[in-house]
Structure 1
């Protein structure tokens, strides 16, 4: 069995994109959190997945709602990432956002946006995996925010030329 410190070290050395996932509570209040477990699952139908820790205060809101929005953050949104990773703060009062036609909270300035309806939830140990079917997508074509070993960064477009 893999040691926890070894597992954490390997996962911490794996660079990821950074997302903020949002939904609305049953009372219509915006809810969101920072997530780096986001991944593509299928092209036909268009499915994505992400996981939420069962101990997170908004776990039940996310797992009981029918839809959510995935914001792939832009390279200059490290502050948004940290805000949505911080407990005990009114996150939406500190940012620019609006409600979409699907009644989902949308954060301004994202790199990419996927509005999804819940396709399936899967029990996954101390997490719940949510699989979403993409119903709406927007691409700003800006450099995404990357995270590696507790540092934010971006790969400039010039790198690819």
Structure 2
């Protein structure tokens, strides 16, 4: 049997980017989750995946709506990451957003945004594996420093020298 604490410590040793995945609730307000379990999957068709916890209050809306936006967070977006990681039903109220042409809520300031439709969902233990088919890609006009998650901390990726 694998010790859960050791497993978490080992996984925390792998630096990853930080994303916020957003969709709309029944009142057409933004909801979302923070996910570091994110990856590109396929180029043809263009697919990405992320893994929300089944206990997330946003998870059922992502599946029901069948569309979402994945924001690759910039280093200064820690307040977004912490807010969307919470169970607070009002977690998005302080964050500026706009509706895309595809109907997804978009946060400002991300290093990139990937708009997706739900392609498949798979079981993954205590998390779902959500595969999104890429519908639109958004890059900022100016380069933005990305956020990383490592050993339980989030921050801007230092410059490579």
- Normalised by the length of structure 1, the TM-score is 0.92
The corresponding residue for 1:118 is: 118
CA-based RMSD: 1.5
- Post-superposition CA distance 1:37-76 (Å, at most 9, x none): 1111011111000111111122211122211100000111
TM-superposed deviation, 1:29:
2.5
Gaps in structure 1 of 5+ consecutive residues: none
Gaps in structure 2 of 5+ consecutive residues: none
Q: Secondary structure in 1 aligned to 2:8?
A: helix
The corresponding residue for 1:78 is: 78
Aligned-partner Cα distance in 1 for 2:22–2:119: 16
5 Å matches for 1:19-98? Answer: 19-98=19-98
Q: Secondary structure in 2 aligned to 1:121?
A: strand
Q: Identify, as 1 or 2, the structure richer in helix.
A: 1
Which consecutive aligned stretches of 4+ in structure 1 deviate over 4 angstroms post-superposition?
none
CA contact (8 A) 2:83 2:92 kept: no
Aligned residues: 159
TM-superposed deviation, 1:89:
4.7
- Normalised by the length of structure 2, the TM-score is 0.92
CA contact (8 A) 2:22 2:32 kept: yes
